[in-house]
Amino acid sequence: MYLGSIAVGVVVGLAAPGLAAPAEAAITPVLALLLYATFLAVPITRIGRALTDRRFVATVLAVNFLVVPVVVLALAGVVGGLVPGRPALLLGVLLVLLAPCVDYVIVFTGLAGGASDRLVATTPLLTLVQIAVVPLVIALAVGPDVLHLIDLGPFLRAFLVLIVLPLVAAGLTQAAVTRGVRPAIVLGDAAGAAMVPLMMATLAVVVASQVHRVGRDLPAVAPAVPVFVLFAAVMVALGLLAGRLAGLDVAARRALVFTGVTRNSLVVLPVTFALPPAFALVPLVVVTQTLVELVVMVILVRLVPRLIPAR
């Protein structure tokens, strides 16, 4: 069903490019509803307790801000070798791969039986640390002159709209359910039933909003596609290794793989729109990573439980 949703998004986006703008406008509200339903399924008290799992939090930070930059800088060297003289392509790859996802990674982690509650607890740290780390690594790879082009405001706005507001709304709903408030009980049941349709809607609108741009300029962004696939494959392997070395439980190891692979493309994309015309290719590179990643995520939902079995 998720692969079918991606296919529908591709067909609609290519057949009716005029729908790209309304589909893009629908991404944030649909994703916020999906995360509300996800948070509603996780007792808020479990999220609070998850912060005490220091080993998991430390491993997530180490994978995203020590391991990932090394992998990305190595891949950036590959990009520079394949397409020399293309700073926009290089900047797009760096921007999107250095920033760990803080939104739909939680949903995919839950679908794969991972510790989504513990991953929710790490989102404030992931958001704040990436705001500090991403510009530093980009300055190291491209040069400090590029830093004045990057606006970090979208990171904080996305954290507020996609994490804080849905989480607060879910907590209030859970509190009302425990007091037996009938509308809250009905809302909770409806949100649980809507999880799969909301995930399908998210996949469809993201793809429909972006696929026309990529299809139109595919030759320019094509060199980034194998880089994104290679990044996902490498990070799956390194996530498996890191989880085992850290001695994490099964659910935590699954979550670690997802947080290492999934990137913050939907938040990075608004950052790229503020870049000057010389970097017009950067948004397309980010969009391309989104499309590649959505397919990878659907595969990993099936693959990760096999790589990290419950027993």
pLDDT in tens, 146-171: 666 666 677 778 778 888 888 889 88
**Local confidence band at 61 (pLDDT 50, 70, 90 cut-offs):** very high
The b/e string for 226-247 (b: 16+ C-beta within 10 A; e otherwise) is ebbeebbebbbebbbebbeebe
Please answer whether residues 34 and 107 qualify as being in contact, where contact means their C-beta atoms are separated by less than 8 angstroms.
yes
Max Cα–Cα distance, the chain, nearest Å? 63
Tell which phi-psi region holds residue 61, choosing left (phi > 0), alpha (psi between -120 and 50) or beta.
alpha
Q: Is the pLDDT of residue 89 over 60?
A: yes
Tokens at residue 107, please?
Answer: 């949903």
Cβ-proximal residues to 87 (8 Å cutoff; 6+ apart), any chain = 142, 279
How far does CA 52 lie from the centroid of its chain?
24
pLDDT on residue 257: 97
Q: Which pLDDT belongs to residue 146?
A: 65
- Looking at residue 181, the DSSP 8-state letter turns out to be -
Instruction: Answer whether CATH 1.20.1530.20 is correct for domain 2-303.
Output: yes
- β-strand partners of 100: 263
- Decide which of 214 and 193 is more confident: 193
| Rounded Cα–Cα distance for residues 127 and 161 (Å) | 13
- As a whole number, mean pLDDT of residues 96-124 equals 88
Return d(Cα 245, Cα 257) in angstroms, integer.
13
Decide: helix, strand or coil at residue 115: coil
Q: Give CA angle at 105 (103, 110), nearest 5°.
A: 115
Tell me: the pLDDT tens digits for 132-149?
A: 888 888 777 666 766 666
**pTM here?**
0.82
**Quick one: pLDDT band at residue 82, thresholds 50, 70, 90?**
low
In 52-183, the DSSP E strands lie at none
Question: Which class for 142: exposed (0-12), middle (13-18), buried (19 or more C-beta within 10 A)?
Answer: middle
**What is d(CA 21, CA 15) in angstroms, rounded to the nearest whole number?**
14
pLDDT the model gives residue 80: 61
- What integer pLDDT is reported at residue 252 of this predicted model? 95
